[in-house]
């Protein structure tokens, strides 16, 4: 079955960096676009970033542009989110989520999420 498993979350000080991973299985990873979506504690969902199936197209939310980098390693069936210059407002559960049709990105599968806490 389709599985997305995030890891790499934790507690980090403001201004520091963290790299999240999303390990995919149960489907052909190289054929699907993947997004990151986050959720601050007690709040709603916020889209963060997108990468196309081949890595050629990448988009970011304005709130993370210039600080976060999304990438993928097809050989490892893994998606990454490199987060630099972290701010307290980046505190959230980070989900990776798959889309069936890249041009119509509704999310058919989500990971369980990994919590990032930015605090001094």
Partner 1 sequence: EIVMTQSPATLSVSPGDRATLSCRASQSVSNNLAWYQQKPGQAPRVLIYGASTRATGIPARFSGSGSGTEFTLTISSLQSEDFAVYYCQQYNTWPPLTFGGGTKVEIK
Binding site for partner 1 (CB under 8 A): 35, 44-47, 50, 59-62, 95, 104-108, 110-113
Which three-class secondary structure string do you get for the chain? CCEEEEECCEEECCCCCEEEEEEEECCCHHHCCEEEEEECCCCCEEEEEEECCCCCCEEECCCCCCCEEEEEEHHHCEEEEEECCCCHHHCEEEEEEEEEECCEEEEEEECCCEEEEECC
Q: Shortest Cβ distance from residue 112 to partner 1 (Å)?
A: 6
CB of 119 to partner 1, least distance (A): 21
Complex with partner 1: residue 17 or 89, whichever CB lies closer = 89
The nearer residue to partner 1, 16 or 62, going by C-beta atoms, is: 62
Select 8 or 46, whichever has its Cβ closest to partner 1: 46
């Amino acid at each position: 079955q389709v599985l997305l498993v995030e890891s790499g979350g934790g507690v980090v000080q403001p201004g520091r960096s963290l790299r999240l991973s999303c390990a995919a299985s149960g489907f052909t990873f190289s054929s699907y676009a993947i997004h990151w979506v986050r959720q601050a504690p007690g709040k709603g969902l916020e889209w963060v970033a997108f990468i196309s199936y081949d890595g050629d197209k990448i988009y970011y939310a304005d709130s993370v542009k210039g600080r976060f980098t999304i990438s993928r390693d097809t050989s490892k069936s893994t998606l990454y989110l490199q987060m630099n210059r972290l701010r307290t407002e980046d505190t959230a559960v980070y989900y990776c989520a798959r889309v069936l049709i890249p041009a119509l990105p509704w999310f058919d599968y989500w990971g369980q999420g990994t919590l990032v806490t930015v605090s001094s």
